[in-house]
Amino acid sequence: MVNSVVLDRTFAACAHPIRRAILERLAKSELTVREATSDFGVSKPAISRHLRVLEEAGAITRVIDGRNHRIRLSEDGLTGARDWISQRALWERKFDVIEEYLASRATTQDSPPS
Amino acid sequence: MVNSVVLDRTFAACAHPIRRAILERLAKSELTVREATSDFGVSKPAISRHLRVLEEAGAITRVIDGRNHRIRLSEDGLTGARDWISQRALWERKFDVIEEYLASRATTQDSPPS
């Protein structure tokens, strides 16, 4: 069971296009901070804030190797949010509608011709 | 392709425990505003703000029937966020690790005994 505060932070971390773009870049491999954050057209302090939000959410991990800061997706950093938003309960109504439709079709087909 | 602004709003809407609780209550059925929002121990203005965030994100729909306000989960209101966070690219590294492991195991098994 994922802590509610962790879910708050993960969803908030995903709620900005630059942060989502950083996560997508990191999906393939660990990157330097520069590689992960170049060409967004925003200031360095803004980039730092985005990285801090991602780190505090546990979505990324920073690896400091001398003067090189590399970042990577945290193992399972997004799992709680993915599981919450994918939970069957939230999508159950749709399954119910399909089941109702299939049931009504079955009933129609079972009826003798009038 | 879901609009980035829509994704921002959906993820932000999910980034609060009360809003997630409202969505979970609505998962089963359409409810009155009172049923969907009772017992959270917060003020009416706070509840109104949470509902507005959910509505502006397209996560819920309000049905006004005379004096009754009923709300329900929007059809596909969370789909974009679910699809983004579930995209294979974000989880690919994990598959790669499994594939590497299987490949290394296969290589070990293929080696002649020393």
| A:B CB pairs within 8 Å | 82
Decide if the complex's ipTM is over 0.90: no
Which residues have a Cβ under 8 Å from the Cβ of B33 and sit 6 or more positions away? B47, B51, B69, B70, B71
**Chain A residue numbers touching B15 (CB-CB < 8 A):** 7-9, 11-12, 15
Which residues have a Cβ under 8 Å from the Cβ of B60 and sit 6 or more positions away? B22, B23, B26, B51, B54, B71, B72, B73, B74, B77
| The model's pTM | 0.81
Closest CA in chain B for residue A57: B15
pLDDT mean over A55-74: 92
Q: What is the pLDDT of residues B44-75, one digit of tens each?
A: 999 999 999 999 999 999 998 888 889 999 98
The alpha-carbon gap from B114 to the nearest alpha carbon of chain A, in Å, equals 36
Q: Are residues A50 and A22 in contact, defined by beta-carbon separation less than 8 angstroms? A: yes
pLDDT over threshold 70, residue A16? yes
Q: Are residues B69 and B63 in contact, defined by beta-carbon separation less than 8 angstroms? A: yes
Residue among A37, A86, A30 nearest A60 (CA): A30
Output the average pLDDT for chain B. 88
pLDDT over threshold 60, residue A1? no
Residue % of chain A over a pLDDT of 70: 86
- What pLDDT does B111 receive? 59
Q: How far apart are CA A45 and CA A42, in angstroms?
A: 8
- What pLDDT does B102 receive? 78
Q: How far apart are CA B81 and CA B93, in angstroms?
A: 20
Confidence of residue A87 (pLDDT cuts 50, 70, 90): confident
- What pLDDT does A33 receive? 94
The alpha-carbon gap from B109 to the nearest alpha carbon of chain A, in Å, equals 29
Q: Are residues A28 and A63 in contact, defined by beta-carbon separation less than 8 angstroms? A: no
The alpha-carbon gap from A10 to the nearest alpha carbon of chain B, in Å, equals 7
Q: What is the DSSP string of B20-33?
A: HHHHHHHHHS-EEH
**Chain B residue numbers touching A22 (CB-CB < 8 A):** none
Confidence of residue B110 (pLDDT cuts 50, 70, 90): low
Confidence of residue B89 (pLDDT cuts 50, 70, 90): confident
Q: What is the DSSP string of B10-21?
A: HHHHTSSHHHHH
Residue % of chain A over a pLDDT of 90: 61
Q: Considering only A55-59, B13-17, B52-56, B101-105, which range has the smallest mean pLDDT?
A: B101-105
